[in-house]
Chain A
Amino acid sequence: AQKVTQAQTEISVVEKEDVTLDCVYETRDTTYYLFWYKQPPSGELVFLIRRNSFDEQNEISGRYSWNFQKSTSSFNFTITASQVVDSAVYFCALRGNYGQNFVFGPGTRLSVLP
């Protein structure tokens, strides 16, 4: 069975602080895909990144960076110099290789205070 755990239910930081959101996953698939989505108060799910299981290179996109560690089944997400607009619920998700649906984690609510 596939499972995604996001141990942090809520995080509060002050603007300009760095923050890391943790994600741990379980799967028996040898090929799989990991995602992060942002859900602002308006409700839509905004795609942030997709990472393939065979590509362990870390990625940086502006203030966002992702650390994929296959050995520990983790796919953590760091926001550098956080801003108030980063306040949202962030979901980590896992998808297998055979057209399977997403398995989402429970989400982490990030509040960035001015």
Chain B
Amino acid sequence: EAGVAQSPRYKIIEKRQSVAFWCNPISGHATLYWYQQILGQGPKLLIQFQNNGVVDDSQLPKDRFSAERLKGVDSTLKIQPAKLEDSAVYLCASSSNNRGSNYGYTFGSGTRLTVV
């Protein structure tokens, strides 16, 4: 079974620029999550999708972050404009139902964003 695919693997941008990350979940997984992991901290949920609908985006900084999952499969997370404090690893995860599979989520390898 293919894992959760994310791209790019690394990205360096200047502050105030825009950036987008892409995630392709495991085939058939209805639930998709974006997490932000700042260096030295645990991952923090930004947004959760169930198919193409948003379940939880309470911790998404909506003034600069946006995410979509138009066809209920791939997802894109965008930051516009980026700030220095957005430097982090952005992890995508998917699970087979809203309560998670018996063996937990599957995480992608993440996109490491550096804002300079």
Contact = CB atoms under 8 A, between A and B. Distances in A.
A101 interface: yes
Nearest to B55: A99
Interface in B63-116: 89, 91, 93, 98-100, 102-110, 112
Contacts of B112: 43
Interface stretch (A55-63, A72-80, A89-97): A89-97
B108 A99 contact: no
A64 interface: no
A107 B109 contact: no
Contacts of A107: 40-42
Nearest to B97: A99
Contacts of A45: 43, 91, 93, 107
B62 to A, nearest CB: 17
B30 to A, nearest CB: 11
- Majority secondary structure of chain A interface residues (helix, strand, loop or mixed): loop
B56 interface: yes
Interface in A60-114: 91, 93, 95, 97-102, 104-107
A16 interface: no
A105 B45 CA distance: 13
B43 A104 contact: yes
Given A47-B104, A106-B41, A101 B109 contact: no
A91 B42 contact: yes
Interface of A: 4, 33, 35, 37, 42-45, 47, 50, 91, 93, 95, 97-102, 104-107
Interface of B: 31, 33, 40-45, 48, 50, 55-56, 89, 91, 93, 98-100, 102-110, 112
10 contacts: A37-B107, A43-B112, A47-B105, A50-B104, A98-B99, A99-B55, A99-B99, A102-B43, A104-B42, A107-B40
